[in-house]
Structure formats: structure tokens, C-alpha cells
Structure 1
Amino acid sequence: MADRSASRGTVSRDQWAAQIAALGDTRATSRSRKAPITVGRIVDTAFQLVEAEGFEALTMRRVAAALQTGPSSLYAHVRNKAELDDLLIGELCAKVTLPTPDPARWQEQVLDVCRQLRDQYLRYPGISRAALAGTPNSLDTLRIGEGLLTILLTGGVSPQSAAWASDAAFLYVSAHSFEASLRQRPEEDGDGADRAELIERFKMLPESRFPTTVAYARELTHGDEHDRFDFTLGVLLRGLVPATS
């Protein structure tokens, strides 16, 4: 082995030490190298936080900490929390499939779009609160409004009624989803009540003052959230009279 080493040229101790040090620097550089901050990474991280801890826990500082950076790094890509909220709602709206408007099925189509949006919201507890905060700027969010309005107009609803109905439907989906997310929270104070408990509470009311509530306690508490969702939107849609009738 000594002869083979000599024929190749012996590396000095200092050179060998330098090579080892270089390897260490490479490993350190590899460990310290971070993926660049992008809007996509910010949005993905925000979704992860909301899914794990709820929308109330979402702040720019929390997103920055999860990305192992400072808040100022985020502001180079997302101006503020309001813009982040708008991006999140836009991402969810982008996953909704809009149908080709069919005048024979317009009510069913509106309900289907609203159900899709509701299901997206319910994946991330409380996130629909962001949709209630202000006017959307995301084109993906505006696409839902465009789709609902087009379906309603295709069904023969007058322009003004269609405009108000599409806005009311979007508002109801957001509010319903937000309330549903509150119901999904684990009860911290033990004050939650299931349907049986609610019926008993209603029946405990003095019948002389609440005769109708006591008599219809079961009807008042009947149906799950999806049943009530479909019912409410059905009432809205059936109240729309096609302009041609």
C-alpha cells in the first residue's frame, strides 16, 4: 500500500485537513440552505396552520415562524393579513367546478356550486370568516360570483334578482360554514348540548309563555347541518320567479 500511495503522490496532512474541512462546510451549507419564500409556500403554510389550529390562530407572524423566517420576508410577497385571507379564499374557490348553465336545472346547479364551496370551507375551521371580511379581489373568488350569476340568468331570473340572489347565496354559504366550524370545536366549558338535550331544555320552558316552542321542540331541532343548508338555499331559490313567467 505504501508503494501505491507513493506512486500517486502523497497528500500532505494540511491538504487532507483542508479537504475534510471543505466537506464539513458543504454539509453545513446544505443544512442551512432554505427553499425560497414564495406566495405559494406562504399560502400552503397558512392552510396547514388553519387546518391544525383554526383560522383564529392564523397571523403573519405565525406563518413566518413556520417558514423559519421573519414577517418582513412575507411582506415582500403578501402585503398584509387581509391579502393573505383573500388568497386563501381564492384558492378554495378555484377548486369549485362550475357547470355549463342549463335552464332546466338552474336551481340544482346553484345548489351544487354552493355545496362544493361549503365543503371546501369546512376543511379549514373558521376560514369562511375571511370571505365575510370584505370585497373579494381574487379572480378565482369572482369566478364563483360570475358562475352563479350566469346560472341564475340562464334560468330566466331577472338581472336584479339574480345579482342579489348570487350575493345572498355566497354570503349564506360563508356564514353557514363559519357557524358550523364553531360547532365543531371541542367544548371547553362542557356547555355543549346535543339534540336530545336541546329538546329537553325546550320542554322545560314554561308552556304558558312558550307554547309553540314546547309543542314543536322536535321539529326545531330536527335535521343535521347539511339538511338545513339545503333547505335554506332551497327557500331562496324557490322564491326567485323567472322573468319570463
Structure 2
Amino acid sequence: MTEQDHRAATSPPPSPGQVWLRSERPRKQRVTRERIVETALALLDEEGAERLTMRRLAERLDTGSTTLYGHVATKDDVLDLALDAVYAEVDLPGEPGPDWAEDLRGFMTDWRAALLRHPWSAGLLGRPMLGPNMLAREEFLYSVLARAGLPVTGVSDAAYAVSNYVIGSTLMQASWQTQPKDARKAADEHVQTQRDRYPTLAAHRRMAATDWDATFARGLRALIDGLAPAST
């Protein structure tokens, strides 16, 4: 067994997050990691994560797969790098503002906007969050919640609550908006025809006319207001 074969046999299997645990070797090549990420983002935005392959990415870059493997080991590496680039689009203030709730509201709103610009991204957020842009924004989120006066365990609980709200609402919006408008209207009409069985749904649910931005803002306000008493 050669030394290379030995390393391959003893290395852990590839998995999400591994790209952040390896050092990138400097290379003088036409295709850089930055170009790979930029091209992968465009491909993902056009076609989604399911259709991303190393071969198709190499074709888009007008190069061979071997060139890609000089920068990334697996498709998971590409997805991790692309996700971190999405997080780079979420603005962070230079200094904390006077109101932790306003800082939190602005951050969550910007985060949602970034995910919606890349509809595939929210569905991949169960991966290890180890990229520098991801970690910087998670640090900001935890620091804002710590300023709210939450106990140590409360900070983590609140971070999960607000993060899951953003991710869940983004997933629902991205999925629902891929449906034809006629399908949304038909769903509302179906509930209306059974209003005797579902009176509350018939009175309040209007999926075809959902104002996603306003609905998100109201839900986020209620969530933040629920955290506020802990700071007093």
C-alpha cells in the first residue's frame, strides 16, 4: 500500500463541514476557490442543490473535474462554501445599537432576505455551522440575546427559537411560491367549501393572498416581545 493509499484508507469519510477543518493549499491556477464558489452560487440559484454535481460545476467553469478537486474534495465542500457566501450577505453593524431588540429584528430580517435570494440555502442549514461568515453572525446573534439579560441556558434556547422561525418561514415561502397561483387559489377554495368542518381556517387562512413580508414581521415582533420580559 502506498502512502497515498494509506492516507485515503485511514481518513474519515467525507461529510458536511469538513472543508473548514482542512487547510487550503495555495495554488497558482486559473480556477480559484473564489471562482468556484461564485459559479456554484449561480448554479444553485438557477437549479437548486439537488442538481449540483462536480461535473456540471466543472463544465460551467470550463475546466475539468480534476481542477476542482485541487480546491475542494467533495460536493459537500462546495455546498458548505456556498452557504458561507450566503451568510456573508447578512449585514452586521459595526457597533451594537442601544436597543438589543432592534438589533435582533434587523439581523433576523436581513438573514431572511439573504436566504430568500438563494431559496435552496434554508434547506441545508442542518449542516455543521463552521464557516467564518456563519460563525461571525452566530456570534452576533448570541451576543444580542445575551444583552437582553437572558440566563445562560436562555440565550441558547432563544437563539434556537428565532433561528428556527427564520429558517422555517423561509422554507415555507420558498416552497409555496414554487406552486402555481391556481394551486394556491384552489387550496383556499377547498377550505372554504368545508367551512363547517374547519371554521377557523375558513375565517382566517388566505394562502393565495399571503403578504409574506408583513406576516414575517408580525411574527418576529411577537417572538421578540416574548423575550423582552426576561430582560426586566
Q: TM-score, normalised by structure 2?
A: 0.76
| CA shift for structure 1 position 212 | 2.7
Partner of 2:168 in structure 1?
175
CA distance in structure 2 between the partners assigned to 1:211 and 1:186 by the alignment: 25
Correspondence for 1:83 among 77, 88, 103: 77
Amino acid at match of 2:96: P
CA distance in structure 2 between the partners assigned to 1:70 and 1:181 by the alignment: 33
CA distance change for structure 1 residues 216 and 244 in 2, over 3 Å: closer, same or farther? Answer: closer
| CA shift for structure 1 position 191 | 5.9
The answer as to whether partners of 1:86 and 1:131 remain within 8 angstroms in 2 is no
| RMSD (CA atoms) | 2.5
SS of the residue 2:167 aligns to: helix
Structure 1 residue 56 corresponds to structure 2 residue 47: no
Higher relative contact order (CA 8 A, sep 6+): 2
- Structure with higher Rg: it is 1
Query: Which consecutive segments of 4 or more residues in structure 1 shift more than 6 A?
Result: none
Correspondence for 1:192 among 172, 178, 183: 183
Partner of 1:142 in structure 2?
135
Structure 1 residue 225 corresponds to structure 2 residue 212: yes
Partner of 1:159 in structure 2?
152
Stretch of structure 1 that moved more, 197-206 or 134-143:
197-206
SS of the residue 1:174 aligns to: helix
Amino acid at match of 2:31: I
Amino acid at match of 2:151: S
Amino acid at match of 1:192: A
SS of the residue 1:192 aligns to: helix
Aligned residue pairs, count: 203
CA distance in structure 2 between the partners assigned to 1:140 and 1:40 by the alignment: 14
The answer as to whether partners of 1:97 and 1:113 remain within 8 angstroms in 2 is yes
| CA shift for structure 1 position 177 | 2.1
Q: TM-score, normalised by structure 1?
A: 0.72
SS of the residue 1:135 aligns to: coil
Structure 1 residue 96 corresponds to structure 2 residue 90: yes
TM-superposition CA deviations, 1:173-213 (whole Å, max 9, x none):
233223322233263xx86214xx44432220150x32333
SS of the residue 2:183 aligns to: coil
SS of the residue 1:68 aligns to: coil
Partner of 1:131 in structure 2?
125
CA distance change for structure 1 residues 129 and 244 in 2, over 3 Å: closer, same or farther? Answer: closer
Stretch of structure 1 that moved more, 76-85 or 209-218:
209-218
* 5+ long unaligned stretches in structure 1: 1-34
Partner of 1:47 in structure 2?
41
Alignment of 1:14-53 (within 5 A): 36-53=30-47
The answer as to whether partners of 2:148 and 2:230 remain within 8 angstroms in 1 is no
CA distance change for structure 1 residues 83 and 116 in 2, over 3 Å: closer, same or farther? Answer: same
